[in-house]
Amino acid sequence: MTEKSIIELDDMNWELLVEKEGKPMVVMFYSPTCPHCLAMMPHFERYADEFKGKISFARIDITRNPFSVSRYGVMATPTFKFFCSGLPVQEVVGEIYPTLLKKITEDALEYGSSCASRSTPIDFNIGYA
């Protein structure tokens, strides 16, 4: 795996790299102390190399980035969220079979843009009267 195969996300660069970039992306929400995350990381890294140039792979440490975690309702690790055109189109939670992660990634590439085009963007600005 090359260093640039997986993008390191945080609360400061999330909007620019995920929501505004618009390219298909798989984001792994993880914790450095989570044994299930540690078990999934080698497979995530392998698929990042395998799908390089087709879909971006990124990860975000939930212990350091509470805003992004809260914004996307992440309740457990690892959580894999698939984005297309900056919108979440698929999610899978837990230590899953690696082949399932690969299949969902392939499906996100094939169907993600049509799903995103039918999604309603969420406005996260909360107004108080």
Sequence ranges of the domains in the chain: 3-117
What integer pLDDT is reported at residue 122 of this predicted model?
A: 55
Fold of the 3-117 domain: Glutaredoxin (3.40.30)
Instruction: Note down pLDDT in tens along the chain; length 129 residues.
Output: 445 799 999 999 999 999 998 789 999 999 999 999 999 999 999 999 999 999 999 999 999 999 999 999 999 999 999 998 888 888 999 999 999 999 999 988 888 766 656 555 555 555 554
Q: Are strands 25-30 and 79-84 parallel, antiparallel or unpaired?
A: antiparallel
Measured in whole angstroms, the distance separating CA 10 from the mean position of its chain's CA atoms is 12
125 token code pair = 């600005």
Neighbours of 18 (CB within 10 A): 24
What integer pLDDT is reported at residue 30 of this predicted model?
A: 98
Q: How far apart are CA 79 and CA 100, in angstroms?
A: 13
Which 8-state DSSP code applies to residue 104? H
Q: Angle, to 10 degrees, between the axis of helix 35-50 and the axis of helix 98-117? A: 70
